[in-house]
Amino acid sequence: MLILQILLNAIVLGSLYACIAAGFSLVWGVLNVINLMHGSFIVLGSYLAWGAYKALGVAPWTSLLIAAPVFFILGYGIQRGVLNRVIAAPVLVTLTLTFGLDLILNNAMLVAFKADYRQLVLDPSLGSLSVGSLVVPVDRIVAMIFSLLLTLALFFVLRRSRVGRAIVAVRMDRDAARLMGVDVPSIYATAFGLGTAMAGCAGVLLAMIFPISPIASGSYLGKAFVVCVLGGLGSVPGAVVGGLFLAIVESFGSLVLGPENAVTLSFGLLIVFLIVRPQGLLGKRGFE
Amino acid sequence: MTIPSAPLLNLTGIQAGYGEINVLWGVDLTLARGEITALVGSNGAGKSTLMRTLSGLIVPTAGRIDWAGEDLCGQSPAQILARGIAHVPEGRRLFSSMNVEDNLLMGAYARKEPRAAIRRDLDRVYATFPKLHERLGQAAGTLSGGEQQMCAIGRGMMSAPRLLIIDELSLGLSPLLVEQLVEALRSLNREGLSILVVEQDVITALELSTSAFVMDMGRIVQSGRSAELMHDPAIRSAYLGALAA
Ligand SMILES: Nc1ncnc2c1ncn2[C@@H]1O[C@H](COP(=O)(O)OP(=O)(O)OP(=O)(O)O)[C@@H](O)[C@H]1O
Ligand SMILES: [Mg+2]
């Protein structure tokens, strides 16, 4: 029963990981930019959910409706206004730039919210669901369902919509996409906007479960990075597979090795994958 | 001999290249409306560079591209596509993990017409290349070379162009397949599409086209009606060497 309980928790966590990583993976895959701001966007999303609930009583799942467009516009603007100027530069340059921007954003949050942990506590609480001896708090289930829905939505946008096809086309062959009349800078901005919106929404959902602090951004960024490498870069299914895999390994790993070793374990896994299977579990180079 | 129809496209003194490297040294070229024109020349002559300049991937450093009373120099690929010029690039450049139909739909990306019009053109592509219809759900990267070329040409047609430019029509394809593609292009041409084709195989090029240009070292060195060029001693010795003997 303990095993089942751990597996259940891992699936909840894995869905959140998928949501954290999907946008990061999209930006990395399409723009070839490793966006170090991703973790801070997530934390900012958590603050948005926290503030909306505290000040206005807006439930996190309703906040998603605000977070998605707001973060999309934020990401679109940052890409158009700043990143786009150096997009052709080597990956190290864009990495450094997002590092700098992240310092600004993260410190601004530190100033605004302090490093104290805050908690979004739903009142009344949603209670828990129990089946046999398995117990899961309902807020976690809600967060899981919305994570999966968001990830699925991103998948369908990329697969089925006109702009999604253009994003995928740009990723696969930029010049060929230009020949189709695709305006590459605006597609880059759209992809970055989508990635940022995913981060913000993930933050909203994480606020239902985890304490909120600017300090958490590094750990979210690390998860996104590891999930991308595990699942395979630049694909939504890769993010889902990688997210679940990481969560399962972490959960059972901390059972065996102790929770203090979970982070070491995930980065150990990262190194093993980079050496043994750099293309990730799904093993595809193209964007799916 | 027929009287040449009004020019569709007129290039004068086009210079272009890659950064510091200049490749085209003043290209003059005129395309007749409703015709198939061939561009031949040795490797590295600058044919693909000229095609890229025409479709806006490269911005020329000098010269004019006259099209329907407008200079296309400096316009973006999207703008040029909207004017009616579609470019099937060298190496086909399909979106390899997208399926055939999505590749074709990417060809219609910039069109603002209703879905029905695009659907009609999709059916037209399938009618021209029934093979593509059989494989519409298959990833483009897994198609055979011939099917890939059909898909690339189909994708070009999906923008409903007035001029289709095809870089390397027959490269790597069997004679039978080339014959099929030539037939398809002839039928598109009969429906009113003007075509500019870059082709390594001079015989195929001259048989397919009405007029032709020969390029060397970034310049047009010869031009004329294809039927006449076929019997030109200089062409025969330069390009048809072994076959002409
Ligand atoms: N991206 C590039 N950067 C720099 N130089 C280039 C580039 N592409 C082509 N060139 C150079 O431009 C010249 C013309 O190349 P181009 O591809 O236009 O020739 P081509 O006539 O199409 O040859 P082929 O028959 O082999 O396709 C060559 O000398 C080539 O090295
Ligand atoms: Mg070429």
Q: Which long-range contacts (CB under 8 A, 24 or more apart) does B76-81 make?
A: B76/A178, B76/A183, B77/A178, B77/A179, B77/A181, B78/A178, B78/A181, B78/A182, B78/A183, B78/B110, B80/B54, B80/B55, B80/B56, B81/A179, B81/A180, B81/A181, B81/B55, B81/B56, B81/B110, B81/B159, B81/B161
Task: Nearest by CB to A169, from B56, B82, B95: name it.
Answer: B95
Structural domain for A98, as ranges: 2-276
Confidence tier at B2 by pLDDT (50, 70, 90):
low
Confidence tier at A49 by pLDDT (50, 70, 90):
very high
Does residue B13 line the site of ligand 1, with CB under 6 A?
A: no
Whether residue B244 is predicted with pLDDT greater than 90 in this model: the reply is no
Residue A288 within any structural domain of the chain: no
Count of domains forming chain A: 1
- The CA distances from residue B154 to A31, A76, A82, A172, B222, in Å, are 28, 33, 38, 19, 31
ipTM score of complex = 0.92
Instruction: Tell me if chain B has a CB within 8 Å of the CB of A172.
Output: yes
Segment A243-260 shows an average pLDDT of 89
Instruction: Tell whether the torsion through CA atoms of B69, B71, B75 and B81 is positive or negative.
Output: positive
Instruction: Tell me if chain B has a CB within 8 Å of the CB of A284.
Output: yes
Residue A282 within any structural domain of the chain: no
Residue A241 within any structural domain of the chain: yes
Chain B residues with CB-CB distance to A173 below 8 A: 93-95
Report domain extents, chain B. Answer: 51-62+77-201, 209-239
pLDDT for the residue numbered A135: 87
- Indicate which atom in ligand 1 lies nearest the CA of residue B52: 18
Does residue B45 line the site of ligand 1, with CB under 6 A?
A: yes
Whether residue A240 is predicted with pLDDT greater than 90 in this model: the reply is yes
Distance of alpha carbon A240 from alpha carbon A218, whole angstroms = 20
Is there a contact between A176 and B110 if contact means CB atoms under 8 Å apart?
no
Distance of alpha carbon B219 from alpha carbon B47, whole angstroms = 9
Segment A183-198 shows an average pLDDT of 96
Distance of alpha carbon A246 from alpha carbon A224, whole angstroms = 10
Query: Torsions phi, psi of B57, nearest 5?
Result: -70, -30
pTM across the whole model: 0.90
Chain B residues with CB-CB distance to A179 below 8 A: 55, 57, 77, 81, 86-87, 89, 93
For the segment A117-155, what is each residue's pLDDT rounded down to a tens digit?
Answer: 998 888 888 888 888 888 889 999 999 999 999 999 999
Separation of CA B195 and ligand 2 centre (Å): 17
Q: Which CATH superfamily is domain B51-62+77-201 in?
A: P-loop containing nucleotide triphosphate hydrolases (3.40.50.300)
- Average pLDDT of chain B to the nearest whole number: 92
Confidence tier at B191 by pLDDT (50, 70, 90):
very high
Number of residues assigned to chain A: 288
Segment A269-288 shows an average pLDDT of 72
Asked if residues B106 and B157 have their Cβ atoms less than 8 Å apart, the reply is no
Residue A283 within any structural domain of the chain: no
Asked if residues A41 and A108 have their Cβ atoms less than 8 Å apart, the reply is no
pLDDT for the residue numbered A34: 92
Residue A269 within any structural domain of the chain: yes
Confidence tier at B145 by pLDDT (50, 70, 90):
very high
* Burial class for B137, CB neighbours closer than 10 Å (0-12, 13-18, 19+): exposed
List B12's β-bridge partners, or say none: B64
Residue of A168, A179, A183 to mutate for B, most B C-beta atoms under 10 A: A179
- The CA distances from residue A124 to A136, B87, B230, in Å, are 17, 62, 87
